[in-house]
Amino acid sequence: MSYPNNIILVGLMGAGKTTVGRMLAKHLGMRFIDSDHEIERRTGVKIPLIFELEGEEGFRNRETAVLSQLCRMDNVVLATGGGAVLREENRKFLKQSGIVVYLRAQVRDLYQRTRHDKNRPLLQTADPQAKLRELFGQRDPIYRQLADIIMDTGDQNIHGLVRRLIQKLTDGQASNMQTLTVDLGARSYPIHIGAGLLQQAQLILPHLAQKRVAIVTNTTVAPLYLDQLSATLAQQGVSVLPIVLPDGEAYKNSETLNQIYNALLENRCERKTTLIALGGGVIGDLTGYAAATFLRGVPFIQVPTTLLAQVDSSVGGKTGINHPLGKNMIGAFYQPQVVLADTSTLDTLPGRELSAGLAEVIKYGLIRDLPFFEWLENNMDRLLARDKDALAYAIRRSCENKAEIVASDEREGGVRALLNLGHTFGHAIEAGMGYGNWLHGEAVAGGTVLAADLSQRMGWLSEQDVERTRRLFQRAGLPDHAPDLGVDAYLDFMGLDKKVEGGKIRFVLLKSIGEALVTADVAAD
């Protein structure tokens, strides 16, 4: 899928959307439309009069109606009104319609540019500068979370600004990047998916609170990607502290966590230093937990480099470490600022690890997305051949499913538990076989087959559908049955799982392919 072909400018009044938009459209040979001007053209009156007659609510209704139409057009640079982002439905239209660019300016500059303008109804107050400050506080986080690109307008001249913006737009298009949002109010964050993202500093810079980061990675990933990411940031004046840990699930523990704290403290890292996790799920979980706890919380960015981490562990904010008595027993919910899933990094991933990631991809199809399951049946060979477009599609679809679930149930009070399909059995398999012998994804595949069998015994899933599930795992290079640990061992290991509530094990089972449910109503035999 290619990038949408409209460019949407958002930002406060006075940020320069109309001037920049007009010039940008001219350079790119696109049509320019200003949504406020369009409302005035259609109503035949100026905006202040609409506010006077219909109030802000009446104006916003008109704005929504106009945006819903403009967003369906093609090859347009669209300058939006400052408050266009306030309604969720508008944000959806804008996001779906094109690349969203936030023109960000300081309140001081906004005031200078708007103070003689009588066509801004919200600024007709005794203290317009205070009003602008209030609007900035309210809207800046919304613009940030919506934007694919943030441009600080500063003092630079308009030609320079437009040139830089065109550069950013072409960088993004060259990589065919796609962006989704995990919608968690003020803690929302973008997930960028595409090839070559490690070279794109502009995807990271707007999320840094200071020009200092610690990149946490391991001895396998460091020689492959640490220099690349460090150079991208260093070229922009960001100082980088590399923290290279030993590789493996066996090191996802308190000793390794302490190595991160030690490096951060010895190098006097501060509350504003961002931790960047560069690696698979182990590095992501460890780094996220370090970020949640170091100085009671520092900013954190995920740069996942395994398929499993790109489709699952880097999204949703679960962080943590293992305890000798159980996996992921110590942890915190802590959301990243941004996730960069660079599909180029998958080129070096061992085949077995690619397959392990596919287990979590198949999981989304099974629990809530039958069309995706069917797509996987038809495209498994392309995925195994690492076809970039197929991988990007599978990652996007997986992240969309996860983002929707996480947005509606961040802390696993309900529907998020469905993501644990195969995991209660899977954790028992991982522990029972000895951590590291079965990869997490392999154990999830084995666990899912057990869950499918149990669903059939409950009278829900048909035999054909159990077989269909087995076959897809098999084609993905994954186990299609669970190891025989013995019932007692399974019950023992599962008793330690976090999915236990009031002494009862809660299972995620399948009603059909594409529909899952949680139940504690399963007899031990």
Ligand X SMILES: NC(=O)c1ccc[n+]([C@@H]2O[C@H](COP(=O)([O-])OP(=O)(O)OC[C@H]3O[C@@H](n4cnc5c(N)ncnc54)[C@H](O)[C@@H]3O)[C@@H](O)[C@H]2O)c1
* Sign (positive or negative) of CA dihedral 446, 493, 418, 400: negative
Is residue 427 among the annotated active site residues?
yes
Q: Which of residues 320-359 bind ligand X (CB under 6 A)?
A: 328, 345, 348-349, 353, 356
CB-closest chain residue to ligand X:
281
Q: Restricting to residues 300-319, name those near ligand X by CB under 6 A.
A: 305-306, 308-309, 312-313, 316, 318
CB of 427 to ligand X, least distance (A): 8
Rounded to whole angstroms, the Cα distance separating 491 from 503 reads 12
Nearer to ligand X, 256 or 455 (CB): 256
The site string for ligand X over 259-298 (x = CB under 6 A, - otherwise) reads: --------------------xxxxx-x-------------
Least separation in angstroms between CB 371 and ligand X:
23
CB 244 within 8 A of CB 226: yes
User: Angle, to 10 degrees, between the axis of helix 487-495 and the axis of helix 423-433?
Assistant: 110
Instruction: Report long-range pairs for 325-332 (Cβ below 8 Å, ≥24 apart).
Output: 325/496, 326/427, 326/431, 326/496, 326/497, 327/427, 327/430, 327/431, 327/435, 328/285, 328/427, 328/498, 329/496, 329/498, 330/254, 330/289, 331/285, 331/289, 332/288, 332/289, 332/292, 332/293
User: Does 115 qualify as catalytic in the annotation?
Assistant: no
DSSP letter at 310 equals I
Between CA 284 and CA 296 the distance in angstroms is 18
296 is catalytic: yes
**Can you tell me which of 17, 91, 212, 252 binds ligand X, judged by CB under 6 A?**
252
97 vs 337, beta carbon nearer ligand X: 337
Nearer to ligand X, 28 or 496 (CB): 496
Active site residue 360: yes
> Which two tokens mark 435?
């951590």
Choice among 192, 327, 416, 506 that is catalytic: 416
Alpha helices by DSSP H, listed for 177-251, are 227-234
Q: Find the catalytic residue in 6, 90, 328, 420.
A: 420
Phi, psi (degrees; rounded to nearest 5) at 372: -70, -40
Alpha-carbon 132 to chain mean position: 30
**How far, in Å, CA of 507 to CA of 500, rounded?**
9
Q: CB-based burial of residue 9 (10 Å sphere; 0-12 exposed, 13-18 middle, 19+ buried)?
A: buried
Shortest reach from residue 421's CB to ligand X, in Å: 12
Catalytic status, residue 420: yes
Q: Which helix (H) or strand (E) holds 242?
A: strand 239-245
Q: Which is nearer to ligand X, 11 or 280 (CB)?
A: 280
What's the min distance (Å) between Cβ of 305 and ligand X? 4
Instruction: Report how far apart, in Å, the C-alpha atoms of 125 and of each of 116, 118, 121, 143 are.
Output: 13, 11, 9, 24
Question: What tokens appear for 143 in the block?
Answer: 């613009």
Tell me whether residue 386 is one of the annotated catalytic residues.
Answer: no
**Candidates 54-62, 110-118, 162-170, 219-227; binding stretch for ligand X (CB under 6 A):** 219-227
Closest CB to ligand X among residues 11, 279: 279
| Residue 171 binding ligand X, by CB under 6 A | no
168 or 440, CB closer to ligand X? 440
Q: Which of 63, 353, 410, 412 is catalytic?
A: 412
- Dist. CA 335–CA 205, nearest whole Å: 18
CA 8, CA 81: separation in Å to the nearest integer? Answer: 11
423 is catalytic: yes
User: Which among 65-73, 143-151, 213-221, 486-494 is the span making contact with ligand X, rule CB under 6 A?
Assistant: 213-221
Q: Which is nearer to ligand X, 139 or 416 (CB)?
A: 416
Q: Report, in Å, the least distance between residue 316 CB and ligand X.
A: 5
- Whichever of 169 and 341 has its CB closer to ligand X, that residue is 341
Residue 318 known to be catalytic:
yes
Q: Residues 419-458 vs ligand X: string with x where CB under 6 A?
A: ---------------------xx-----------------
Number of chain residues interacting with ligand X (CB under 6 A): 29
Which parts of this chain interact with ligand X (CB under 6 A)? Answer: 218, 220-221, 224, 247, 249, 252, 279-283, 285, 305-306, 308-309, 312-313, 316, 318, 328, 345, 348-349, 353, 356, 440-441
Tell me the catalytic residues. 296, 318, 360, 402, 412, 416, 420, 423, 427, 440
